Amino acid sequence: MRENGPGTKTGRAVRYSRVPEPDFDKNTINRSTDTLVYALGGLGEVGKNMYCIEHDDEIIIIDCGVLFPEESLLGVDYVIPDYTHLVKNQGKIKALIITHGHEDHIGGIPFFLQSVRLKQIYAPRFAKALIEKKLEEHRMTRGVKVTEINEESRVHTKHFDVGFYNTIHSFPDSLGVLINTPNGRIVETGDYKFDFTPIGERSDYQRMAYIGQIGVSLLMSDSTNSGVEGFSISEKRVAASIVEQMRKTPGRLLVSTFASNVLRLNQILEAAVACGRKVAVFGRSMENGVDIGRRMGVINIADEHFITGNELNTLPANKICIVCTGSQGEPMAALSRIANGTHKFLKIIPGDTVIFSSNPIPGNGSSVNAVVNKLTRIGANVIVNSALTSLHTTGHAPKEEQKLMLNLIQPKYFMPIHGEHKMLVQHSNTAQQCGIPEDHCLICANGDIVVLREGECFIGNERVETDAIYVDGNDASGLSTSVIKDRQILANNGLVAVIVTIDSRYNKILCRPSIVSRGFVYIKDSQTLLKEAELVVYDALRKKMQQRTTFGDLKNCIRSSLEPFLYQRTSRNPIVIPVILNQKAAIAEIQAKTGARR
C-alpha cells in the first residue's frame, strides 16, 4: 500500500494517546509508559554508531558499527560497543535498521549476532549487499534475514511506526529514519550532506519539509563536520577535477580513495575510460566495492576496460590507471605495500603520479603522511586533496548544511550524535542559532538515557551499561579487552614477577621469595626497594601458611601484600605475577596419591 506521509497511513499528523500525568519525579524513568533513547556507541567518538529507541517491551536499533582503533591500541582490529544490555533484553528487540553501508554503521553486525539472536535486519539496497557478504564470510546467513528498504518502505511494530527518506552521503542509497512512538516523533538523520548537484539520488527535501510540518519531538543529527564552516563542495566538481588530473598526467596514474565510496570509484573509472586508460584494481575491499557496484548498476564499466596485475607491463605508462586501497595509510593496504616495495605486482617507477582522493580520518594523519613521504622518496609525484585540487569532498554536512537540516525538520528537542564531544557541543551551538532553546539541546554520552514523555524530552536519572570492547581477530567475547588493558598497564607501570619455593607436604616456605622486575624500576638503583618487597611478601606468606591454604590463596596473598607496598613506595601499579615452585618430593607425593585414587 502506498502511503502519503513517512511513517503515517494517511499523511495527517498522528494523534498520540495521552498518558496520565505520573506522580513521580520528572527525571525518574517509567519504563512502561516512557519512550527511551540511548546510544551504545557514537557519542564522544566518530565510529561504532549504535542508537536504541525503547518503549515498554520493544526496542528498535539504528545501525551497528565498529570504531577503528587508534595507533596506541596495538593488536586490536576493531572496537565495538558492549552489547550486554541488549543481550539481557534481546526478547524486546524487534528490528535492526541500517541507514547506510559504511563500516562505522554495519561493521559490528557479525559480532552483534554472536551475542544476540536477531531474525530481521532492514537495510538499503547497497548496504544489504555488503551485509550479506559479511554474513556469508562469517557463515551466519541462515540465522538472520536481511530485508531491503527504501524511502517508500515502512516497518511496523506494536509501539513503533518507522518511515524513511533519501539523503546524500558518500555512499549509495543512504536513508534518514523517522520513528513514530507513543510519546512523539523522532528523526535520526544517519550520515548526510546536502549536495545541490549530486552524483546519483537527490536528497528528499520535500519529504523532510513535510516531516518538519507535521511535528518532530526529537532530532538526532550527524555532528561530524560541526566545526567546518560553510557548505561542502559538490561531487560533480570533484569529478571534473579527477578528469582534468587524469588528462594532464603523462605517465602511470595511481588513485587511492575509500573503497566504500562507490560513487567516487565510478567517477574515477569513468574518467580513466574517457582518457583512454585501462584500469587495474588492487586491494580486497576495493575489488569488492567495484564488484558490488557493477552488480548494482552503480558502476557501468565494461570488462574490456579492466586489466590484471600481470598485464601492467604490456601497456604504455600513459594508458594505465591503478585504483587501490590505502588512502588512510593502513599498513596492510595495497598503497602501503606499494610504498614499501613489497607489493606482488606493483613497484613505483620514477615519474608515476599518485592521487589521494580522500582526506585523512582524524587520527590517521601521521600514517597517511608516512606513506606520502615513502612514495615521494622513491620518485612518485604525490597529489593530495586541497582547496586548489578539489580531489575529495566530505560526506558529512558542515555548519550551513546542518542549519538547513535543522530548519527543514524544525525539532522541539535536539540531540547531536555521531561525533566527538567537541563536535556535539558545536552542533548544539548551531542548533541554538537556529532557534532551539539551550535547555532543549541534549548533549549526551554513550549510555545516557533521553526520556521522551508526551512530546517532552529530558535526560533521565539512570544509565545503560556501556563500554568499549576491543576485538582481536573475530573474538567479540571481551577477552581481548582485558588483554589490551594489561598491555596498557605494562606500558605505563611494567611487570613484577615473584618467585616462591614451597614444600606443600609441610605447608612450608623454603626460602625468601625472589623478585624480578621488567619495565617497573631500574634494578641496579632499586636493590633496597626490591629487598624490602621480598621481606614484605615473605612475612605475609609465613603468616598465611600457618593455616591450611591452596595455591590460589598463596597467589592472592602475594598480590594483596605486594601491590599496596609498591604503590606506596613508587605511586605505580605494576602487574604482579606470582610464580610458586613446589619441591620435587612434594610433587611426586601428590602424583602418587592422585594415581592411587584413580
Q: Indicate which CATH number applies to the domain containing 511.
A: 3.10.20.580
Q: Are 79 and 471 in contact (CB under 8 A)?
A: yes
Q: Percent of the chain beyond pLDDT 70?
A: 90
Which long-range contacts does 562-571 make (Cβ < 8 Å, 24+ apart)? 562/496, 562/498, 562/533, 562/536, 562/537, 565/532, 565/533, 565/536, 566/496, 566/520, 566/533, 569/529, 569/532, 570/520, 570/521, 570/529
Name which of 146-155, 296-305, 351-360, 516-525 the model is least confident about.
516-525
Q: Is residue 221 within 8 Å of residue 417, measured between CB atoms?
A: yes
pLDDT of residue 138: 83
Of 383, 416, 443, the position where a domain reaches its end is: 383
Same domain, 321 and 467: no
208 in the same domain as 141: yes
Residue 8 lies in a domain: no
Residue indicated by cell numbers 615473605: 538
- 447 in Cβ contact with 465 (< 8 Å): yes
Question: Is 2 part of any domain?
Answer: no
Query: Among 37-41, 377-381, 511-515, 586-590, which is the least confidently predicted range?
Result: 586-590
Query: Do 516 and 564 share a domain, yes or no?
Result: yes
pLDDT bucket at 307, cuts 50 / 70 / 90: very high
Q: What would the mean pLDDT of 202-220 be, rounded to a whole number?
A: 96
Q: How far apart are the first and last CA of the chain?
A: 73
Looking at the structure, do residues 223 and 240 belong to the same domain, yes or no? no
pLDDT of residue 594: 58
Query: Which tens digit of pLDDT belongs to each residue from 543-560?
Result: 888 888 888 888 999 999
Which domain does 506 fall in, by range? 494-597
**Nearest by Cα to 224 from 55, 8, 430:** 430
User: What are the DSSP calls for 133-170, one per residue?
Assistant: HHHHHTT-TTT-EEEEE-TT--EE-SS-EEEEEEEB-S
Identify whether residues 60 and 151 lie together within a single domain: yes
Any domain includes 27 = no
What distance lies between CA 564 and its chain's CA centroid? 38
Q: Find out whether 446 and 418 touch, Cβ atoms under 8 Å.
A: no
Distances (CA, A) of 506 to 222, 501, 567, 582, 585: 68, 13, 33, 11, 11
* 23 a catalytic residue: no
User: Percent of the chain at pLDDT above 90?
Assistant: 58
Residue 62, pLDDT above cutoff 90: yes
Q: Do residues 332 and 376 share a domain? A: yes
Model pLDDT, residue 551: 84
- If we measure between CA atoms, which residue out of 553, 548, 477, 490 comes closest to residue 517? 490
- In the residue annotation, 222 being an active-site residue is answered as yes
Tell me, yes or no, whether 58 and 196 share the same domain: yes
Residues 252 and 370 in one domain: yes
Nearest-angstrom CA–CA distance, 319 and 272: 9
pLDDT score of 28: 82
Q: Are 63 and 94 in contact (CB under 8 A)?
A: no
The Cα 371–Cα 354 span in angstroms is 11
Tally of structural domains, the chain: 3
Choose between 139 and 436: higher pLDDT.
436
Pick the residue with more confidence: 548 or 110? 110
Question: Does 388 map to a domain?
Answer: no
| Identity of the amino acid at 482 | S
CA atoms within 13 A on the CB side of 264: 28
**Which tens digits make up the pLDDT trace of 214-265?**
999 999 999 999 999 999 999 899 999 999 999 999 999 999 998 888 889 9
Q: What is the mean pLDDT of the chain?
A: 87
Residue 90 clears pLDDT 70, i.e. is over it: yes
CATH code at position 449: 3.60.15.10
The domain boundary residue, chosen from 358, 383, 408 = 383
| CATH code for the domain of 344 | 3.40.50.10710
The lowest-confidence range among 199-203, 354-358, 531-535 is 199-203
From the list 85, 102, 159, 396, the catalytic residue is: 396
Asked whether the predicted pLDDT for residue 12 surpasses 70, the reply is no
Residue 3 has pLDDT above 80, yes or no: no
pLDDT of 5 higher than 50 = no
What average pLDDT does the segment 55-60 reach? Answer: 96
pLDDT at residue 550, as a whole number: 86
Q: For residue 181, give the H/E element and its range.
A: strand 174-181
pLDDT of 144 over the 60 cut:
yes
* CB of 160 closer than 8 Å to CB of 94: yes
CB count within 10 Å of CB 492 equals 11
- In sequence order, the 6+-apart residues with CB closer than 8 A to the CB of 138 are 110, 113, 474
For strands 508-509 and 495-503, give the pairing. Answer: antiparallel
34, 173, 191, 222: the catalytic one is: 222
**326, part of any domain:** yes
pLDDT of residue 482: 66
Q: Residue 16 has what pLDDT?
A: 43
Q: For residue 541, is it within any domain?
A: yes
Task: List the one residue out of 325, 316, 323, 319 whose CA is nearest residue 281.
Answer: 323
Domain contains 5: no
pLDDT for position 419: 92
On whether both 169 and 84 belong to a single domain, the answer is: yes
**pLDDT (mean) for 143-172:** 94
If asked whether residues 365 and 333 sit together in one domain, one would say: yes
| Confidence (pLDDT) at 184 | 96
| Residue 20 pLDDT grade (very low, low, confident, very high; cuts 50, 70, 90) | very low
One domain for residues 259 and 127: no
pLDDT higher than threshold 60 for residue 597:
no
More confident residue, 58 or 519: 58
**296 domain residue, yes or no:** yes
Considering the domain architecture, whether residues 431 and 552 belong to the same structural domain is answered as no
Residue where a domain terminates, one of 363, 383, 403: 383
Q: Specify the higher pLDDT residue, 13 or 42.
A: 42
